Chains A and B, each alone.
Chain A
Amino acid sequence: MTMYYNEMVDDGRVRAPYAMLSDWIETMPAEIRQMKQAEAEALFRRIGITFAVYGEGGDPDRLIPFDMMPRVFLQGEWRKLERGIKQRARALNAFLRDVYGRGEIIRAGRVPARLVYQNAAYEKAVVGFVPPRGVFSHIVGIDIVRTGRDEFFVLEDNCRTPSGVSYMLENREIMMRMFPALFRHNRIEPVDQYSELLRRTLASVAPAKCDGAPTIVILTPGHYNSAYYEHSFLANLMGVELVEGSDLFVDGGFVYMRTTQGPKRVDVIYRRIDDPFLDPLCFRRDSMLGVPGLMDVYRSGGVSIASAPGAGVADDKAVYTYVPEMIRFYLGEEPLLQNVQTWALWKDEDYRYVMANLKELVVKEVHGSGGYGMLIGPRASPEEIARFRSLIEKNPGNYIAQPTLALSTSPTFVEEGIAPRHVDLRPFCLCGDRIELVPGGLTRVALREGSLVVNSSQGGGVKDTWVLSE
C-alpha cells in the first residue's frame, strides 16, 4: 500500500504548521462550517471568479470549489522552496536567452538540438533578439508536489502565461473576510503585494526607447476567454488598462492604445494571448486577436512583450527533463528542487521499460496540459492501457512517463468533517530587474477521496496557502 505524507497529522500527533488550526477546526460546529462554506461560495459568485484554471476547458461559469481549510507551510519549509523556485526561474530564463542566441548548451551537448530547434514553440522570428534585461519569461509558474517532509518535486514549468494567481489573491481575501480572528492570532505572511510586484516587474522591462514612466497594458483575447476574469482582475489591481487587439495599433515604430484623449503610446504589453495569435504579419494570418505589425515594433525595441514570444520552448515536458542540466550549466549550482523521474519514450531503453510497466506509470503527452491526453496506469482499465500502448507505438516522441507520485495530503473539509485530500502547489515567480516571489501560491486539492487528480475539470478545488512568519 502506498504511504502518503499527511501534512497535518503524523502518527496521531498534529504537525507544527497545523497546530494552531486544530483547535479552530475542533471547536467549529458543523452548522457554522456549512454556513461559512455557503457564504464563501456566495462571495466567489458575487465577485465572478468562476473561470477554469490553466486552460482546462469545461464550463467557464462553473465555480471551482473553495475549501476553507488553509494549507500551511512553516517559514523554514518555505525558504527552501523559495530558493529552489527562484533558482529554477533564473535557469529557465538563461536557457531562453541562450537558445535564441548562441545555443551554448546545445553546442556543449547538454541538451539535444532537435528538442529545441524542432520544437513547435521555438520562434524563428525572434532568434538573435534579446529582450530588455534578457528576460523572456516574466511570470514563471512552477507546479510543485510534495511526497515527504523534505521531499518536493517539480511537476512542470509554465513559462508562457500561467494563470491562477487571481485565485491565490481571492482565496486569501475571502479567508480574511470570513475569519478575521484567524489572521489576528496567527502570523501569516501577506500575498497582496503581488500586484504591485507584478507592475514593478513589468515596468522594469520597458524598452530602451521608453522615456518617462512606462505605460503598461494587459492584452486579453476577450471576455469569451476562460481566464478573462483574471485579466480584468489583474488590470484593476495594477491600475493599468485591459485591452483587446483592436484597442491597439501600430503607427511608425511604436504601438499605441486608443483612448478617449487620443492615442497613447504603450511600452509594455502583458499579453494573455498565445504566440500564434499575436500578429498576423508575423504569425498566423487569420488571427483577429492580435495587433498587425506588433512583432516588427517588438523586434526593433519599440515595445516589450511579457512573456516574450518564443518563451514556450522552455516549458514542454521533454525540455523539462533537462532543467536540472540547465541549472548546472548556467548557474554552476546543484538543483535545489528535484524533477520527477521521467522516462522519455523516444529513448530505446526508456521505451522498453515504460512499455513493460504501463500499469504502474503515468504517461503524458509532451505538449498536453490540463490532465488531458494522460494515462494513470494504476487507475486505468486494461482497455485504456491497450489504447495508450498503440498510441505510444505510433508516435513515441510525443510521450513521457513518470512514476505515480504519492502526493501529500492536506486536511480538507468534506461531508463527514475533516479528511486528508491530495494537493499540489503553483507559486508565481516574477522575473524583471529582480526575481520576486510572494510567500504562497495556489494550492489545488483533489476533493474526491483517493483521487490524485487536482485539475478543476476533474473534481479539483482550491485552498488558501499560508506561509507562517517566524
Chain B
Amino acid sequence: MAKELQVRTKKRLSKDHWTAIAFLIPSFLLILVFVYGFIGWTGYVSLSNYNSLVPDFSFAGLKNYIYLFQDFRFQADLRNTLFFTILFIGLVIVLGMGIAVLIDQKLKGESIFRNIFLFPMALSFVVTGVVWQWLLNPSTGFNQFLSVFGIQPKWYTDTNILAGFEWGSIEFGLPVAIIAVVIAAVWQMTGFSLAMYLAGLRGIPDELREAARMDGASEFQVYRKVVLPMLMPITVSVVIIMAHISLKIFDLIYAMTGSGANFVTDVPGVYMFETTFRGNYYANGAAIAIIMLLLVAVFIVPYLWSNRKGEQ
C-alpha cells in the first residue's frame, strides 16, 4: 500500500520504471493470447458444429453441452471425478499430516523417512501409471500378499458401483475401480502435502507447544488444540492444489487403466483427449475442456483472489 501511494504521489514514473514495464509486456502478451485468447477460442469451438476433420464454425448453441450432459460416458466421468477427488484429497491430507506429525517428533533418521515419502513426487504420472498397472493387476502384484488372507480384489478391472442407484443414464455410487487409481495417485502426491505440513510444523514456535504443556495439556491435546488449528491455512492450500490436479488428471489414468469397462475409470481429461484427437469431435472436446476449466476455476479463482487481497 505504502509503496503504491509513493509511486502515485510521484505522478510520473521514471524512465527506468517504463523500461521495467516494457520488459514485462512480452510475457503479458504471451499469456493474454496463449491463455485467455485460446480459452476464448476453445469456448467458441465448443459452441460450433466442428465435429469432424473439416472445420465447421457455424453456431450450434449449447448443443454440444446438452449432448455431453445426456451422454453416458460423460455422466460416468463426472461421477468418477467426484469420488476420485474426495478420496484422493482426503487420503493425501490424512497421510501427509499424519506422517508429518510423526516425522516432526525429532526421531533419528527423519531425513531418510522424509526422502522416502517425497521421492515419488519426482516421478512422472506416466511412470507411476505403468508401474501401478502391474502392482494392482488382479493376477499378480499386491494380490499375491492378499491371497494369504483369502481376498483377491479385482482392483481397476472391477465394474461394481458401491451404494449405486439409478441417476440419469448411469449408476451413481462409488466405482470400486477408481480406488485403484486413487491409491496410485496418493502414492505419488502424499509427498506434496507432507512437505507442506512439515514446513508448517517447523513454523510453529516450540514455546507455544511448551506453554500448552505447562498448562497441563496432554501431547494429544497439544496437537488437537494448538498445532492443528495453526495448520489450517496449509490444509486450505493443499486442498486447492490437489483439487485442481485431480480435476484435470489425465496422464496417470491414461497410462494406468484407460477408460475401463463401462467407463469405470474414465475421467473428463481422457474423454477430451480421445474424442478430440482420436475421434475428431473437436466441438465436443472443446465443450469438455470448458467444463473442466469451470470446475477448476471454482477452486482457483477464490484462492487467487484472496491471495491477491492478502498482499495489499
Q: Do A and B bind each other?
A: no
User: B residues touching A (Cβ–Cβ < 8 Å)?
Assistant: none
